Structure 1
Amino acid sequence: MEKTESIQDQAETLRTLMARKLGLKRGSLARRVAKAGRRLPSGVRNDIAAVAEAEKIALNPKLAMRLNPGATKGAFDRATVHLRGIDVADRRKGLALSILGSIAFNILAVITILIVVLRWRGLV
């Protein structure tokens, strides 16, 4: 039973971290991993999926004996280190700068095309 409780605690910790760092507050751990998509590296996604699978297997007492707690703990540790390293404020700043850069480029491109067309037509 101790293995099962620790796996449940690990899964709950990962759910909390994903809610805080990625904004994924609803659904099971497997569903949250699927929703995270490209925001997580594939290795971290696989680690979180392994913990989600272990959580599901731990609900059945006969199957729970087949779990490898070392592998689950390793996957949990790797996923936790990555999730705790995410800086939410930096992600928001990066997103805002990306959008502003895209808008600035588009405005510059439109102005350039406008000047070229006006020059071609002999108006400038």
Structure 2
Amino acid sequence: MIDPHRLSDPVTELEQLLRDRLGTRGRDFGVKLRRAGRRLPRYARNAGRRITSAQTKLAHPKLARLVDQAALDRDMTVLRDTLKDIDPKERRKDAVLSVLGSVVLNLILLGAVILAFLWWRGAI
């Protein structure tokens, strides 16, 4: 059987990583994980869900026996490694470049439409 207090330190570390790397806020690990949403890969989200499920099972003495310690450690390692690989500065830079790319593409399309209209009307 797993000691519930042994689980709290790694989960606190994962909560800190979620806040630092993805900027998610919430009252507990499950809320932070849900708010991270699709910013995490599917395998990391599934690992987080299994950790949350283990937390709720560990709160109940009879259900605590059902938690597999090795699988829980694997899930924590997967989520921790995934969160450590995320670079917040790179995410911000990619978001800015994506918005700028969309704006530039729209301006090019608008220019093409204006030129086509001027050509059609015989102004060019």
| TM-score, with structure 2 as normaliser | 0.93
**Deviations 1:20-50 (CA, angstroms, capped at 9, x unpaired):** 1111111332222222221111100000111
Cα distance, 1:19 vs structure 2: 0.7
Consecutive unaligned residues of structure 1, counting only runs of 5 or more, are none
Trace 1:25-104 onto structure 2 (pairs within 5 A). Answer: 25-104=25-104
Q: Among the aligned pairs, what percent are the same residue?
A: 29
Q: Which amino acid aligns with 1:37?
A: G
Deviation of 1:2 (Å): 6.0
Letter in 2 for 1:115: L
TM-score normalised to structure 1 length:
0.93
Alignment-mate amino acid for residue 7 of structure 1: L
SS in 1 for 2:76: helix
Aligned to 2:16: 16
Q: Which runs of 5+ in 2 are unaligned?
A: none
Provide the C-alpha distance between the structure 1 equivalents of 2:51 and 2:10, rounded to a whole number of angstroms.
Answer: 8
Note the aligned Cα RMSD (angstroms).
1.4
Mapped to 2, the partners of 1:29 and 1:49 lie a distance apart of 10
Provide the secondary structure at the position in 2 that maps to 1:26. coil
Larger mean Cα displacement after TM superposition, 95-104 or 7-16 = 7-16
**Aligned amino acid, residue 67 of structure 1:** V
More off after superposition, 2-11 vs 72-81: 2-11
